[in-house]
Amino acid sequence: MHDTAVSLVELGAVFFGLGILGRFAWRIGVSPIPLYLIGGLAFGQGGLIPLQGIGDFTELAGEIGVVLLLLLLGLEYSAQELVTGLRRSWLAGLVDLALNATPGALVAVLLGWGPIGALAMAGVTYISSSGIVAKVLGDLGRLGNRETPVILAILVFEDLAMAVYLPILTAVLAGVTLLGGLSAVGVSLLAITVVLVIALKFGRYVSAVVDSPDPEVFLLRVLGAALLVAGLASQLQVSAAVGAFLLGIAISGSTAENATKLLEPLRDLFAALFFVVFGLNTDPKSIPPVLGAAIGLALVTTLTKVATGWFAASRVGVARMGRLRAGAALVARGEFSIVIAGLAVASGAVDGELAALATAYVLLMAVIGPVAARVVEPLTRLAQRKLSPR
């Protein structure tokens, strides 16, 4: 069969398979991310039927998926919301960082991966999956609950923390000097500050540049701007993902709403490919040796996220049940954890087992998160009924 024909057949099979997996996942009430990762493991190196003809396309598509994930995340927030959320949630955000980054860093040190591996694993276990959390809250009808603003505030803090963390990680992985690393962080902080100021005072002009009444032109402008900014940010060692996130923040109002509607299908498509690519590049045989560590991390960081949500919700007077719901909603890890692991492994500066551990960990947490959010309230009420005197 001709090379082009092979590539088309393989790509078509991947897309069709992803559609089946995604449909099945939402039918059973879990995120499709674990199934996408498993699909990648099945057809990558060491898998059942390795795919050979779509490597270049899927690698680039995966990068675009990361850009779109972060762009749409930025579109969800205005600069004013980010600033307000940061003011309200900084203490809970610091508690979240301490409780959830530490387990990943400790495991990396115990496994002998050194300070670079510890820095990468700290990010993997720290950040919740905004996509999964938003989906679960919508499905369960909790968007209007009193604890939901607390959950969103924590997610906002994590997103801002990533805007600082990713440039640091990128600089460390590149092996730059201390001065070079500090320069990268300085550029990142300067970029964040400039974008927030622009978004607060001149956001309508940024929106006007990309806006258009014609959907086709609008899509081309927004997507083109996102890729341009991501590329320039990457060149400045700020991280393409952070560049896309900052652009999303700068676009506001009806322009942001329309961009979200247009880009969501593209984001879902390319993000699915991103998870598949990560699975393709991970040897399934490398997972069993780190499965024990992944299970241990999953148990510990489930409890630490619940504690984070409980603490944050208690500070604004939310009742006990709401505190539990807030904690359970934050449990899921997903896209960002894989992005961090992908950066670390691609650099060659960390042990290859980190990819296997991150894959196993995200497989567990992307399932545990939605399940925990669904069952925490019924289980708590059942326990209260059994403990209450008759």
Structure confidence at residue 5 (pLDDT): 80
Structure confidence at residue 182 (pLDDT): 63
User: Do residues 247 and 229 lie in contact, with contact meaning Cβ atoms separated by under 8 Å?
Assistant: yes
The answer to pTM > 0.85 is no
Say which amino acid occupies 114: G
Per-residue pLDDT 10s for the chain (390 aa) are 557 787 788 778 888 888 888 888 777 767 787 788 787 777 766 556 666 666 667 778 777 887 887 788 778 766 666 667 667 778 999 999 999 999 999 999 999 888 888 999 999 999 998 777 877 777 777 867 888 888 878 887 887 787 778 777 877 777 665 566 566 667 667 766 776 677 667 767 778 888 888 888 988 998 898 888 888 877 765 667 677 877 887 887 788 888 888 888 888 888 788 777 777 777 778 888 889 999 999 999 999 999 999 999 998 888 888 899 999 999 988 877 888 888 887 777 777 788 889 888 988 888 888 888 888 877 766 666 665 555
User: Do residues 22 and 16 lie in contact, with contact meaning Cβ atoms separated by under 8 Å?
Assistant: no
User: Do residues 67 and 226 lie in contact, with contact meaning Cβ atoms separated by under 8 Å?
Assistant: yes
d(C-alpha 203, C-alpha 138), whole Å: 28
d(C-alpha 103, C-alpha 245), whole Å: 27
d(C-alpha 372, C-alpha 29), whole Å: 11
Structure confidence at residue 311 (pLDDT): 95
What are the two backbone dihedrals, phi and then psi, of residue 239, each rounded to the nearest 5 degrees? 100, 125
Closest Cα partner for 301 from 358, 382, 340? Answer: 358
State the burial class of residue 50 (Cβ atoms within 10 Å of its Cβ: 0-12, 13-18, 19+). Answer: exposed
User: Do residues 357 and 301 lie in contact, with contact meaning Cβ atoms separated by under 8 Å?
Assistant: no
Structure confidence at residue 293 (pLDDT): 92
Domain regions of the chain by residue span: 30-387
d(C-alpha 330, C-alpha 324), whole Å: 10
Place of tokens 């993902």: 241
| CATH for the 30-387 domain, from 1.20.1530.20, 3.10.310.40, 1.20.1250.20, 3.20.20.140 | 1.20.1530.20
